[in-house]
Chains A and B, each alone.
Chain A
């Protein structure tokens, strides 16, 4: 198998062009899937026999929570690549992921709290899953804060990489918290072996929402990484060439 395309991706100009070409697809498809999922989840899916309409929050909550964990893993992997191979691109992606991950973690916590009030009778319980997710938010915010404290972006990214790797011990704790402890939070409904515990009429918008959220995250991370890359490489020739190239093709300016 030919891996040159993959190696070429590591160079900033080719990544930039790759992102320029694919980010609109990620964003467009993601938005489309999200709209379909929300319509399916909020309108088409039948109300739950027990939770009535309140269960519909899962169409936002579950994708946000899944993405918050996946993004953290991606950030820690970028951290490892940053530290081992010193890839500039991994640094940019790492820094790009942190705010996106923090937002989705906050969204998962907020939607969970809104659901918790009618279902459990409390916005917040000191439960393993909830607390671990809250710690995940602190870890994301710590990476954002640490990155902002440095003057040199490369030193900042490597420090963030180290912090992200240490914080990664929390990821399995969040994921398995419902298994290891007697948690008030319910166990996994779809991400498990065997038949899912959810009827197909309720499940398809959830799958669409998951895929849509992942694509949307991909879009956000790609765009943020592009910005980060432009900022860091602003003095180089390829950025200037691309600037003149874009200025030539654009209708305005």
Chain B
């Protein structure tokens, strides 16, 4: 247990010392959303209609940016091998790594979503399903992405492969996340898609660290 706490503290400490690394995804998110604003004619009301899709896709792409680094730097300096041979459960170590990833590159995106939504002219009444959806959906990406990052760790051409493998697996999250906002916009109850998101999150939290640990062991055999 204390090893896991130490691992978590290490992740945060490393992030605190390499600030550019975790500041880049939020910045990327802001720039992508702004580019959509530049892409349409000024003050186009259509932008508000597409805001859920823009914010969801932007957030997922931004969180994807830092996924490749999740195991890559640990693999380069040998930490990953130490984790593999240590008596600590690799499944829990993977869980901690993915959790730290979400805290550093998922949570800032959730917090940024509300001001960015306001920039897109998004009605503030729909903010709750959007932010709750993102809060449930971004950890899914960290855990699914953590699994794929474990699959592709150590591959020379892993960088381009990672997003291609992650994005099809993340489709249900986008459907239910953007669906919650849409349902709310039509005056319907948004809780059903949000519960679906929560179910997906529970599934990814419980199953994927285990599979990611298997993938890491496979990569080091």
- Chain A 150-179 interface 0/1 with B at a Cβ cutoff of 8 Å (1 = within): 100001001100110111000001000000
* B155-A149 in contact (CB<8A): yes
**Stretch of B37-45, B82-90, B95-103, B165-173 contacting A (4+ beta carbons < 8 Å):** B165-173
Chain A CB within 8 A of B221 CB = yes
> Can you name 18 A-B residue pairings with CB atoms under 8 Å?
A139-B169, A141-B164, A142-B164, A142-B165, A142-B168, A145-B164, A146-B161, A146-B165, A149-B152, A149-B158, A155-B221, A158-B218, A159-B151, A159-B152, A159-B215, A162-B151, A162-B218, A163-B151
* A149-B221 in contact (CB<8A): no
A159 CA to B165 CA, complexed, in Å: 12
Q: What's the dominant secondary structure at chain A's contact region? A: helix
* A135-B218 in contact (CB<8A): no
Find chain B residues with CB under 8 A from A15 CB. Answer: none
Find chain A residues with CB under 8 A from B218 CB. Answer: 155, 158-159, 162
Which of B157, B211, B214, B215 makes the CB contact (< 8 A) with A149?
Answer: B157
Which of B152, B171, B211 makes the CB contact (< 8 A) with A146?
Answer: B152
Q: In angstroms, how far is the closest chain B Cβ from the Cβ of A245?
A: 34
Closest chain A residue, CB of each to CB of B211: A162
A166 CA to B151 CA, complexed, in Å: 12
Chain B CB within 8 A of A31 CB = no
A203 CA to B161 CA, complexed, in Å: 43
- Do A166 and B214 form a contact, CB below 8 Å, given A145-B161, A145-B164, A150-B155? no
Within 188-217 of A, Cβ neighbours of B (below 8 Å) are at none
Closest chain B residue, CB of each to CB of A143: B165
A40 CA to B121 CA, complexed, in Å: 58
* B161-A149 in contact (CB<8A): yes
Within 125-160 of B, Cβ neighbours of A (below 8 Å) are at 147-148, 151-152, 155-158
Which of A135, A155, A162 makes the CB contact (< 8 A) with B171?
Answer: A135
* A166-B171 in contact (CB<8A): no
Closest chain A residue, CB of each to CB of B171: A135
Within 62-116 of B, Cβ neighbours of A (below 8 Å) are at none
Q: In angstroms, how far is the closest chain A Cβ from the Cβ of B37?
A: 24
Q: In angstroms, how far is the closest chain B Cβ from the Cβ of A165?
A: 7
- Do A138 and B214 form a contact, CB below 8 Å, given A155-B219, A155-B221, A162-B151? no
Which of A131, A145, A162, A167 makes the CB contact (< 8 A) with B215?
Answer: A162
Closest chain B residue, CB of each to CB of A138: B168
Q: In angstroms, how far is the closest chain A Cβ from the Cβ of B118?
A: 28
- Do A163 and B165 form a contact, CB below 8 Å, given A149-B155, A158-B218? yes
Q: What's the dominant secondary structure at chain B's contact region? A: helix
| Chain B interface bracket (under 10, 10 to 19, 20 to 34, 35 or more) | 20 to 34
Find chain A residues with CB under 8 A from B215 CB. Answer: 159, 162
Chain B CB within 8 A of A83 CB = yes
- Do A145 and B214 form a contact, CB below 8 Å, given A150-B155, A166-B147? no
- What 20 new A-B contacts, CB under 8 Å, besides A138-B164, A162-B211, A163-B165? A131-B171, A138-B167, A139-B168, A142-B164, A146-B151, A146-B165, A149-B155, A149-B158, A149-B161, A150-B155, A155-B219, A159-B151, A159-B215, A162-B214, A162-B215, A163-B148, A165-B211, A166-B208, A167-B169, A173-B172
- Chain A 126-151 interface 0/1 with B at a Cβ cutoff of 8 Å (1 = within): 00000100010011011001100110
Closest chain A residue, CB of each to CB of B158: A149
A162 CA to B214 CA, complexed, in Å: 8
Find chain B residues with CB under 8 A from A149 CB. Answer: 152, 155-158, 161
A173 CA to B168 CA, complexed, in Å: 13
Closest chain B residue, CB of each to CB of A157: B218
* B169-A166 in contact (CB<8A): yes
Find chain B residues with CB under 8 A from A162 CB. Answer: 147, 151, 211, 214-215, 218
Q: In angstroms, how far is the closest chain A Cβ from the Cβ of B68?
A: 13
Closest chain B residue, CB of each to CB of A160: B151
Find chain A residues with CB under 8 A from B211 CB. Answer: 162, 165-166
A162 CA to B149 CA, complexed, in Å: 12
Within 163-221 of B, Cβ neighbours of A (below 8 Å) are at 164-165, 167-169, 171-172, 208, 211, 214-215, 218-219, 221
Find chain A residues with CB under 8 A from B158 CB. Answer: 149
Find chain A residues with CB under 8 A from B172 CB. Answer: 173
* B219-A159 in contact (CB<8A): yes
Q: In angstroms, how far is the closest chain B Cβ from the Cβ of A135?
A: 5
